[in-house]
Amino acid sequence: MREIPDRQESTRELDAQLFGFGPAGRAEVLPAVDVLGARGSRIQGFLKTLRDAIRGSSLDYTTAPIGRAIFMLAVPMMLEMVMESIFAVADVFWVARLGADAVATVGLTESMLTLIYTVAMGVSIGAMALVARRVGERDMNGAARAAVHAIVLGVFISLIIGIVGVRYASDLLALMGASPAVIAQGSTFTRIMLGGNITVVLLFVINAVFRGAGDAAIAMRVLWFGNAINIVLGPMFIFGLGPFPELGVTGAAVATNIGRGAAVAYQLLTLARGRGRISLTRSQIGLDLGTMLNLLRLSGSAAFQVLIGMASYVGLVRIVATFGSAALAGYTIAIRLIIFALLPSWGISNAAATMVGQNLGARKPERAERAVWQSAFYNMLFLGSVGVVFVLLAPQIVALFSGDPTVHRYGVGGLRIVSAGFLFYAYGMVLTQSFNGAGDTWTPTVINLFVFWLFELPFAYVLATRTSLGPLGVFTSLAVSYSALAVVSAIVFRRGRWKQKAV
């Protein structure tokens, strides 16, 4: 007889945590009409919470129910990443119409862009950790100063990278193993993407500031705005539609930089006008040695952490490139589709990082830990579902991007193999970001070093060159490494040393 009341109690708790209301005082045995009314109320509560999450709210993430707080952060962060993943797939969809060499150009350039992503993500992790901690401490001035220093640091580093990229674009492609045909067709694309990297860096960094402050909805709108421009302009510049010139694969780079540049302008305008929780004023514009050193410490180790992961991808691409353009094109398509799945999951992971940073700032470490495990479970449900779809429908999905039988075979095989590791990696993603949100950037750095460099790369090389798997051995190493990362991260996270990290 206790089974029904227990279920009602669980429902009440979920209602209160997620939707912001609870059926206190409701009779335990309800008439059918009341049950329908309660169900309708829950649906209305869910829709209201969803609407608030997308619009943005002033919710305090250090006191609100954990389920509701995660939902309010994760929904806009996931939608933000969904748009990024849609753009990644749409970009390669149009470029694939130009042939395997064009797709190979994008794949090789993306591998070189890992250096830029490393800088952007490293500074972003440091900025998010500092901003979230200051917001949790109710120090909004300190949060704004951290944002200013992150922007300055990002601009300085990206300018250096841009100069080198423009000068040596063709040489870098050759170094990556590109054929003469790929270099001839794609050097301008590479030059534009590397030269315009400041838009990528600032887009990452300022959105990290918004997320750390709890303004996930603003970060979402920024990325949707920029990538919507990318998606519209991409085919126009690639194929010369209407008044636009036909630039081929170079057109994809032009559209990308225009879209991201517009998004950065939107970000800076939002900060200047104080439309979010952080407002930049003239009094906050200036350099403070202590703040910059703190940011450099966090960002430096975080950048090394990202570099380890990104460099492992470069190594994997280099292995695949030895098997020819068809294998490389199949790898590029499969990886883009995998990114399509992983980017929304990064939204959930970033939500956990914000919860950790703000709650540690508010001196609530146990609440931070509960938020991490709850976020990881949600991520497992999401990413596991996507993995099932990829395994079942891989041939049909890859066929949308290439009709070449060899490219299709490698793309399908790779997509299915990597998807098998999604359940484990769902936890690994959240745990890694949670360390970063706490400002403990060295722990995931060491874990990445051992998993990706000392294990994944040698394992991939052996499987690809010493077994019959060939390029599919690279995908196998990815799936196994994802699982290893999750297990090791969970063991270290449970020790709880991240709770004592001072930022």
* Under 8 Å between Cβ of 445 and 308: yes
Element holding 279 (H helix, E strand): none
Q: What is the pLDDT of residue 379?
A: 94
Element holding 29 (H helix, E strand): none
> Which is nearest to 46 in space by CA: 65, 66, 68?
68
Spatial distance between the Cα atoms of 302 and 43, rounded to a whole number of angstroms: 41
Q: What is the pLDDT of residue 5?
A: 39
User: Tokens 């052996």 belong to which residue?
Assistant: 462
Concatenated DSSP letters for 433-480? HHHHHTT--HHHHHHHIIIIIIIIHHHHHHHHHHSTTTTHHHHHHHHH
List per-block mean pLDDT (blocks of 10 residues) for the chain, which spans 503 residues.
Answer: 39 47 43 59 78 85 91 89 71 80 78 78 93 94 92 91 85 78 80 89 94 93 91 92 89 90 94 89 81 91 86 85 86 84 85 95 95 95 92 92 87 91 91 95 94 93 92 92 93 94 86
Element holding 45 (H helix, E strand): helix 32-55
Residue 469 CB partners (closer than 8 Å, separation 6+): 463, 476
Spatial distance between the Cα atoms of 383 and 425, rounded to a whole number of angstroms: 9
Q: What is the pLDDT of residue 463?
A: 94
* Under 8 Å between Cβ of 158 and 197: yes
Q: What is the pLDDT of residue 328?
A: 87
**Cα 419 to chain centroid, rounded:** 17
* Under 8 Å between Cβ of 23 and 12: yes
> Which is nearest to 195 in space by CA: 172, 154, 163, 234?
163
Q: What secondary structure, in 3-state letters, does 467-487 show? A: CCCCCHHHHHHHHHHHHHHHH
Residue 227 CB partners (closer than 8 Å, separation 6+): 83, 84, 86, 87, 259, 263
Q: What is the pLDDT of residue 375?
A: 95
* Under 8 Å between Cβ of 339 and 85: yes
**What residue type is 311 in one-letter code?**
A
Q: What is the pLDDT of residue 264?
A: 95
The domain ranges of the chain are 72-500
Tell me the C-alpha to C-alpha distance, in Å, between residue 86 and each of 90, 130, 225, 376, 404. Answer: 6, 30, 13, 23, 23
* Under 8 Å between Cβ of 438 and 355: no
Q: What is the pLDDT of residue 32?
A: 54
* Under 8 Å between Cβ of 484 and 422: no
| Angle, in degrees to the nearest 10, between helices 180-195 and 100-112 | 40
Q: What is the pLDDT of residue 23?
A: 41
Write the pLDDT tens digit of every residue in 430-443: 999 999 999 999 99
* Under 8 Å between Cβ of 183 and 173: yes
Both tokens of residue 168? 């040596």
> Which is nearest to 100 in space by CA: 166, 23, 179, 165?
179
| Chain length of the chain | 503
pTM of the entire structure? Answer: 0.80
Q: What secondary structure, in 3-state letters, does 363-399 show? A: CCHHHHHHHHHHHHHHHHHHHHHHHHHHHHHHHHHHH
> Which is nearest to 350 in space by CA: 128, 52, 63, 53?
128
Write the pLDDT tens digit of every residue in 460-475: 999 999 999 988 999 9
